[in-house]
Amino acid sequence: MSDITLKTEYDARPIGVFDSGFGGASTLRNILRLLPNERFIYFGDNANAPYGDKREDEILALSEAAADLLLHKGVKALVVACNTATSASINALRRKLDVPVVSVEPAIKPACETPGEGCVLMLATVATTKLARYKALQARMREPERVINVGCSGLVELIESGSALEEDILRLLEEKLAPFEGKKVDGIVLGCTHYPLIAPVFERYARAHFKGACRLYDGNEGTARQLRRVLRANGLEADPMATPPENRVSFFTSGDEGSLEPIFRRLLETPIYEQ
């Protein structure tokens, strides 16, 4: 007789994902690819975006409100798909909520582990670079001084518009990154979930203005893998033999849903930049 016991109980409830706006679409793209049988409810707090120019207490309050909204919709787990929200609220959310909470973190660890003599540019919102959780993460790196934090105010707004021209984005990058012209850059950390949505633009800028490998890093793939581990560990996986649902992602926003959902759907379908 076989000793193998087949799992017969699965959890078909959706997974909640939230961000200050559209940025979490970059995280959700990776999750959808890794977990093809799961359903999701996405909440973009577009009316309050960006979080990166707000005080920590404001970010915490907005994050808790987003989490409460998704919990009331019956999600079985929560993904905080926003680096700024993670830094300000992840500990409070984990204490408060009775579902597993997974977060995204700036991928400075793999960037710093890459051999090289150049620097690592960590591009993020100003709030992310100033919050204690991120500072503690940077301090744990073997060579924390190798990481140069660059606040990219205005970039989230360009991406949120859904119609920004590449020239506009390059002009802003020139403004923020001009001090590093010609420097050796081993890695560029996309420390805001909005940024992977325009990864090819970052790559083109880096190749034209920096020396070194200039490899791009983001935390989205790691977040997807961690979510899979958490679902398995808590017995929350959907039935892998069930037919994948047609409408896997439901979209909600604090802004105008009619005008914002088409932008979100388009961003969700943007090809993933392969690191």
Catalytic residue among 112, 119, 152, 192: 192
Q: Using an 8 Å Cβ cutoff, are 70 and 250 in contact?
A: no
In this structure, are residues 176 and 149 in contact, taking their beta carbons and an 8 Å threshold? no
**Amino acid identity, residue 235?**
G
Query: How far apart (Å, rounded) are the C-alpha atoms in residues 186 and 41?
Result: 37
Question: Which distant-in-sequence residues (6+ apart) come within 8 Å of 136 by Cβ?
Answer: none
Of 82, 112, 152, 214, catalytic: 82
Q: How many CB atoms lie within 10 A of CB 1?
A: 3
Nearest residue to 83 (alpha-carbon basis) of 38, 125, 43: 125
Rounded CA-CA distance 81/47 in Å is: 17
| Whether 82 is catalytic | yes
DSSP state of 131: S
- With 0-12 CB in 10 A as exposed, 13-18 as middle and 19+ as buried, what is 136? exposed
- Catalytic residue numbers? 82, 192
